[in-house]
């Protein structure tokens, strides 16, 4: 819903505080009460985040989640957690996103969602239907975890050698490269589009990016990703979105606050 662990934790904490202050004898359905408070708080936070993102420097990507410590999270919510899916969800309004998640991920009925969002059941049905159509139209055919890791492994090998031809063969026609650094030096401030352009960029950047890097494989959002330590205590998390057609999206996450869940666990080994 929020694409930020810190913001999600804040919402949960605030929900707990409101529950503690509530008159429990007047709450007929505690689960419904908590769902209502959590959802409305999350919508408010999401709307505020949208405003802040207008001043974000360069591409914005969701905060990756370390799912290696709790494999059941990755298994149960694997598709919903994928970075590519979170990016698509971000294109929905916060209210659309809430309606879709409550329906598809938590199986709430339309009347239940309507009560939470203060909308009619008919409006909720329309929101969910439009959201589902949007995600279905934009989502690529998925690949399993084994193929995903293989694709990322082959990409890294080609990227490290700067082999343009090998890189081009790995990319889907609509490939995009996005670097989330919020203005940090060394992060591209605009997405790169197209097979030739992305391949040339990756190859040109190879001599400065890969030498001396002790790669650490991690699990981010239920999928294999790689942490790349760089000079100056900088770390990049590299993740991909792939399909049988190849790599559609290269995601380079540099912003330190988004990598806190990974840094201590992996780089301290």
| pLDDT for 72 | 61
Q: Is the pLDDT of residue 116 over 80?
A: yes
- Annotate 46-82 with three-state secondary structure: HHHHHHHHCCCCCCCCCCCCECCCCHHHHHHCHHHHC
At residue 267 the predicted structure's pLDDT band, cuts being 50, 70 and 90, is: very low
Instruction: Determine whether domain 145-267 maps to CATH 3.40.50.2300.
Output: no
Q: What is the bridge-based pairing of β-strands 223-230 and 216-220?
A: antiparallel
> Which residues of the chain does CATH 3.10.450.50 include?
145-267
DSSP three-state, residue 34: helix
Segment 33-38 shows an average pLDDT of 94
Segment 183-208 shows an average pLDDT of 92
Residue 184: φ, ψ to 5°: -65, 145
| pLDDT for 108 | 94
Q: Provide the whole-model pTM.
A: 0.87
At residue 185 the predicted structure's pLDDT band, cuts being 50, 70 and 90, is: confident
Specify whether the CB–CB gap between 119 and 39 falls below 8 A. Answer: no
Residues 265 and 64: their CA atoms lie apart, in Å, by 14
More confident residue, 82 or 163: 163
DSSP three-state, residue 176: strand
| pLDDT for 6 | 86
Helical spans, DSSP H, in the chain: 5-21, 30-53, 71-76, 78-81, 83-90, 94-104, 110-117, 121-138, 145-161, 164-170, 195-209, 260-267
Segment 130-153 shows an average pLDDT of 93
140-168 CB burial, b ≥16 within 10 A, e <16: bebbeeeebbebbeebbebbbebbbebbb
Residues 179 and 188: their CA atoms lie apart, in Å, by 6
Segment 223-237 shows an average pLDDT of 88
């Amino acid at each position: 819903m929020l694409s930020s662990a810190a913001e999600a934790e804040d919402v949960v904490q605030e929900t707990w505080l409101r529950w503690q202050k509530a008159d429990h004898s007047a709450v007929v359905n505690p689960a419904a009460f908590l769902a209502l408070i959590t959802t409305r708080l999350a919508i408010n936070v999401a709307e505020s985040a949208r405003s802040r993102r207008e001043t974000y420097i360069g591409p914005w990507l969701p905060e990756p989640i370390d799912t290696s410590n709790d494999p059941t999270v990755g298994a149960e919510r694997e598709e919903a957690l994928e970075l590519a899916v979170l990016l698509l969800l971000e294109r929905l309004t916060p209210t659309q996103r809430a309606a879709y998640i409550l329906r598809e991920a938590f199986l709430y009925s339309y009347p239940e969602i309507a009560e939470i969002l203060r909308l009619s059941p008919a409006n909720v049905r329309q929101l969910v239907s439009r959201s589902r159509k949007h995600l279905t139209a934009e989502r690529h055919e998925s690949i399993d975890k084994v193929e995903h890791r293989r694709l990322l492994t082959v990409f890294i090998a080609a990227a490290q050698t700067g082999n343009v031809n090998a890189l081009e063969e790995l990319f889907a026609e609509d490939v995009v490269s996005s670097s989330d650094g919020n203005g940090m030096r060394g992060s591209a401030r605009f997405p790169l589009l197209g097979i030739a352009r992305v391949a040339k960029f990756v190859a040109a950047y190879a001599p400065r990016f890969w030498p001396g890097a002790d790669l650490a494989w991690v699990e981010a959002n239920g999928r294999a990703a790689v942490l790349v330590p760089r000079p100056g205590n900088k770390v990049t998390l590299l993740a991909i979105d792939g399909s049988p057609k190849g790599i559609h999206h290269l995601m380079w996450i540099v912003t330190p606050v988004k990598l806190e869940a990974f840094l201590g666990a992996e780089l301290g080994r």
